[in-house]
A and B are shown apart, each in its own frame.
Chain A
Amino acid sequence: MTTIVRSPRLRGRALATTSYAQDMGLLNTPAKRRSTLVMVVLGFLVPFLLTDDLLQIATLGMISAVGAIGLNLVTGYAGQVSLGHAFFIGVGAYTGAVLGGSETSLVVGYDLPMWIWLPGAGIVAALAGLLVGPLAVRLRGLYLAIVTLGLVFLGDHVFREARSLTGGPGVGRRGPDLNVFGIDLRESGSVLGLELAREQRQFLFALLFLIVFAVLARNIARSGVGRAFSAVRDRDVAAAIIGVDLTKYKVMAFAMSSFFAGVTGALYYAVLGVFDPSAFGLLMSIQYLAMILIGGVATISGSIMGAMFIAFLGRLSGEIAHVVPGITTGSGGGGVLTVFQLEAILYGLLIIVFLIFEPRGLFGIWLRIRNYWKGWPFSY
């Protein structure tokens, strides 16, 4: 009879591990456990503190965080640079809208419930990822980036022309309905005795969605699959020699990443309402790359921070632009710059400044804060 022997933790020595399992644990130190609990509790308090417009930005930010995590799996963990993320998000968005949306005179829709359209969007996107995966086996680095870039153009054309699915450019279509267990997230009203506005409902749902997928991704990253990804990223020849099946893991990385992208696309546009095919261009792929670069490559929490940063960046640059003196607030004419032009410039400027001063991303800032307190009071 065998029993699993749990190696005891050393009391008072939180960072000392006595087994590999402990080292790889999801929340392997008490500090992590506590801070995660606090973060989650704070997360659930946020909808009762912020105004509706900020809540909506945060909701969309959390949903795109899942997409960013997906991109981080393939680009950050497995090292396969992908510019095609927008394509997979588009595939998911349209799968979700077709399965969960309503039929109109222009577009098809099957009005299926969320438990079908949300996973469905992920699965169809993952299948698209499976098709692209084998390309990654033959190409590397910039070449792979260019091939995945081709996907974006391909998708852009298909989305524009497949009018019965997408509504076509300039018209667009509605996203799927947002019903969770009979609760309509598009309406305000009381849920379990709590009066919740539409934005609060959506925020709470997006938070749950993010937690589920973040934990899932973290588990992928710390399991054998994740280690195989890192091995492929660091040197694929070496990985192959130690027995990592390159084809399998590269295809897997693309499929998993696309699944994350698919569910993100479906949910994002369910919250947003109407969308048209021009959304899924190169700009979107770049934005997701910016999220993981700003957040931190090959980190889950970094992906989340990066996505939130990009989500709030538009608002932030708007607020800054409005307090800069000497800028006309009207629609144009007269001054050198209008507030809107400044807004657009600031958006780019903030990204540049950020990467110059903090190349490790938001995760780098977090690491420094963490290390300061780890060593406290002897930190210098």
Chain B
Amino acid sequence: MTKKRNLLRVGACAMTAALVLTACRGGDSGSSEAGGGITDEPCPDAVNPDNGCIYLGAISDLTKGPFAPLAVPITDAQEAFWAQVNEDGGVGGYDINLTDHIADSEYNPELHNRKYQEMRDDVAALAQTLGSSQTLAILEDMKADDVIGVPASWNSAWEFEDQILESGASYCFEAMNGVDWAVAERGVANKVVAVGYAGDYGGDAAAGVEVAAEANGLEYVALETPAGQENQTGAISQILGEQPDLVYISTGPAEMATIVGGLAQNGFTGTVVGSSPTWNPALLQSAAAPALEALYFQAGPWGPFGTDTPGHQKMRDALGDVTPNDGYTAGWAWSYALLATLEAAADLDGGITRENLVKAAGELESVDYEGMLPEDAGATDGDPNETAFRQSVISRVDPSAPTGVTIEQDFTAGPTVSDFDFTEPCFSLQ
């Protein structure tokens, strides 16, 4: 018995050693090995069969998660964007394939991590990683793999991460601009209430409101509210009790409409400004529509779907006949930064590799957003205090516009954000 067992053990050890030596398991790649999502073979169904192929990944919220109504158009727009890039001849001798590596993480950090593990050897970069703690769950691995990613969120923390390619002003800066605008244009002079979800989104915006309130000599009150329309009565009565002349909201669209509707019903006549994710054109069909038209303004990182710029036009043409939604606008606008990085990496020694993409992502001096954002908005070459983009757009409700909002004030950086010393994220995630 003992003899037999020893024999087995020796056999097992020998086998182990042999396996290790021959390294028979696949996918054990370091990032620097050939491949890593960049091949000389053409893409499946390639537009340009002579080009190589770069595979991009997207980890989004496509079915059950809370942001699915926004994330599906974001992902669709990104697919359309890269298809358009291929139509135009590709980048640096490569076509781009996003379709093969789209994953649904249901807005769950655990699944997000798992989906990343599945694609980590097969993609050169992430065209979309949706959610903040979700992105944080894979950030260490992205750094180890030399993978850069486009976040689908506007968190101020991303400005401090070299491998995260954000576009547009963060929730924090957006809030500063929203408050500054309301003070200048709507005569707000006394009190501002910031109401939003607990967590990265609401927290980042509330931090911005607080800074702007202080700069403008306003009294500042912060409220947190849970998700769900039925849970907003507490927030409404608290706001009414504070009697502010400005309310800054960072929740989902339905919650925002409930709050604004409730405020209007109780005779509130001040101003409401919401972060960009508070708007959804479907709200115009809700009972809160008159209240929204009277009170609500949206602070956003760029012009809505119907804006007249070459980039917006190109997006509308590429998408064809779809129900307008600013998820499309976001997905399209975010992609420019990654395109510029790919182009910059193609000009570096060694062409497009993961290492060069990381290098290029930290050295961008400008990004051609085709008018959707100013070119210097994409700069990453320098310290966040210099490169962070500080301008936002303020929109008002307009039932005749494709997504129900039109620009009230075009790209402007208010006095608060212009003087703001940006040395750390407004709201720390970790």
Contact = CB atoms under 8 A, between A and B. Distances in A.
Interface of A: 37, 41, 44-45, 48-53, 56-57, 104-106, 160, 163, 167-174, 186, 194-195, 197, 272-276, 278-279, 314-315, 329-333, 338, 340-341, 343-344
A245 B415 CA distance: 73
Contacts of A186: 140
A272 B76 contact: no
B103 to A, nearest CB: 8
B198 A168 contact: yes
A69 to B, nearest CB: 21
18 contacts: A41-B9, A45-B15, A53-B27, A169-B197, A169-B199, A170-B133, A170-B197, A170-B202, A171-B200, A172-B133, A172-B137, A197-B28, A274-B109, A275-B109, A331-B58, A331-B60, A332-B72, A344-B64
B117 A52 contact: yes
Contacts of A44: 12, 16
Contact of A48 (B5, B25, B76): B25
A279 B110 contact: yes
B423 interface: no
B114 A56 contact: yes
Interface in B99-148: 99-100, 102, 104, 108-111, 113-114, 117-118, 120-121, 132-133, 136-137, 140
Contacts of A197: 28
Interface residues of B, number: 53
Given A41-B12, A49-B19, A51-B26, A341 B63 contact: yes
Interface string B10-42: 001001100110001111100000000000000
Interface of B: 5, 8-9, 12, 15-16, 19-20, 24-28, 58, 60, 62-64, 71-72, 75-76, 79, 99-100, 102, 104, 108-111, 113-114, 117-118, 120-121, 132-133, 136-137, 140, 197-203, 322, 428-430
A260 to B, nearest CB: 20
B12 A275 contact: no
Contacts of B109: 172, 272-276, 279
A72 to B, nearest CB: 23
Nearest to B128: A331
B62 A274 contact: no
A333 B198 CA distance: 32
B72 A331 contact: yes
B137 A170 contact: no
A330 B12 CA distance: 45
Nearest to A170: B199
Contact of B428 (A45, A50, A51, A105): A105
Given A45-B15, A52-B27, A340-B104, A274 B99 contact: no
Contacts of A105: 428
A278 B76 CA distance: 28
B110 A57 contact: no
Contacts of B137: 172, 272-275
A273 B12 CA distance: 33
Contact of A314 (B113, B114, B197): B114
Contacts of B76: 330-333
Contacts of B118: 53, 315
A52 B28 contact: yes
Given A45-B15, A169-B199, 13 more contacts: A105-B428, A160-B198, A163-B198, A167-B133, A170-B198, A171-B199, A172-B136, A274-B133, A275-B110, A276-B109, A329-B99, A330-B76, A333-B72
B74 to A, nearest CB: 8
Find the residue from A106, A163, A172, A194 having the highest chain B CB count within 10 A: A172
Given A273-B137, A330-B102, A332-B62, A170 B19 contact: no
B133 A344 contact: no
A369 to B, nearest CB: 22
A220 B105 CA distance: 38
Contact of A37 (B5, B79, B201): B5
A272 B20 contact: no
Contacts of A173: 430
A341 B100 CA distance: 16
Contacts of A344: 63-64
B25 A49 contact: yes
B188 to A, nearest CB: 28
Contacts of A340: 62-63, 104
A49 B24 contact: yes
Contact of B20 (A169, A194, A278, A341): A194
A288 to B, nearest CB: 15
B165 to A, nearest CB: 20
B102 A331 contact: yes
A53 B75 CA distance: 24
Contacts of B100: 329
Contacts of B5: 37
A53 B120 contact: yes
A195 B19 contact: no
A194 B28 CA distance: 15
A338 B71 CA distance: 14
